[in-house]
């Protein structure tokens, strides 16, 4: 992996910031319609990425809740890098998460200059939760792998930067407080 890729991944980790779960869940099954639908929507369809909504499962202070939160975090990261809108992602990070701040700072600066990011969509695999105790308080350490698609970063006045698809090991240390889960530490083990 290129050193700049690692720094980038830690930053937004544009390569490390996004999530779409790769779980062993079966494909959803939808019953075929019994009759043709004649209803017509009068509201316009969204023309771009839609901001993810936190699932109820990610609001629980449990190992399953921690895993659901990590998946949601990466969904928000994918959204942030695709749109330049980082507010939702920033709310998921504690002030102690330097990598989280570096990632959102990078995206904010890039989009403020008129740049953008194409590709680099993340998915997660091999997610594991471990309950830890810190000063009589329960926190969780989440280890997982991210896989991202090819990514191109466009910045006005500069040559486009291309990053090939990659898979990276990641560790989050997370705390659950009055406003829900927060990523306190984001590490990429060497």
CA distances from 14 to 4, 80, 181 (A): 11, 9, 21
Contact assessment for residue 122 and residue 77, using Cβ atoms and an 8 Å cutoff: yes
Structure tokens at 14: 């544009």
Render each residue's pLDDT in the chain as its tens digit; 190 residues.
Answer: 443 333 344 344 333 433 322 333 333 333 333 333 444 445 555 678 999 999 999 999 999 999 999 999 999 999 999 999 999 999 999 999 999 999 999 999 999 999 999 999 999 999 999 999 888 888 999 999 999 999 999 999 999 999 999 999 999 999 999 999 999 999 999 8
Helix ranges (H only) for the chain are 3-11, 63-83, 87-90, 98-112
Main-chain dihedrals φ then ψ at residue 128, nearest 5 degrees = -135, 135
The alpha carbon of 39 is separated from its chain's Cα centroid by a whole number of angstroms, namely 35
The pLDDT value given to residue 46 = 63
Distance CA 17, CA 10 (A): 8
Structure tokens at 112: 């403020």
The pLDDT value given to residue 44 = 55
The count of C-alpha atoms lying within 13 angstroms of the C-alpha of 124, restricted to the half-sphere facing its C-beta, is 27
Pairing of strands 180-187, 166-177: antiparallel
Distance CA 89, CA 103 (A): 10
Domains of the chain by start residue, with CATH = 3-22+52-187 (3.10.450)
Pairing of strands 137-148, 122-134: antiparallel
């Amino acid at each position: 992996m290129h050193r700049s890729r690692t720094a980038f991944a830690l930053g937004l980790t544009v390569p490390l910031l996004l999530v779409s779960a790769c779980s062993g869940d079966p494909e959803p099954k939808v019953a075929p319609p019994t009759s043709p639908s004649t209803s017509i929507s009068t509201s316009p369809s969204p023309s771009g990425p839609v901001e993810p909504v936190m699932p109820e499962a990610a609001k629980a202070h449990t190992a399953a809740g921690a895993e659901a939160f990590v998946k949601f975090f990466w969904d928000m990261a994918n959204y942030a890098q695709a749109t330049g809108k980082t507010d939702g992602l920033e709310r998921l990070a504690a002030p102690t998460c330097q990598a989280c701040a570096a990632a959102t700072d990078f995206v904010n600066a890039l989009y403020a200059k008129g740049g953008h990011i194409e590709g680099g969509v993340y998915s997660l695999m091999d997610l594991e939760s471990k309950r830890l105790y810190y000063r009589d308080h329960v926190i969780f350490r989440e280890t997982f792998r991210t896989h991202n698609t090819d990514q191109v970063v466009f910045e006005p006045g500069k040559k486009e930067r291309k990053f090939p698809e990659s898979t990276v090991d990641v560790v989050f240390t997370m705390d659950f407080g009055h406003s829900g889960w927060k990523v306190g530490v984001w590490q990429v083990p060497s």
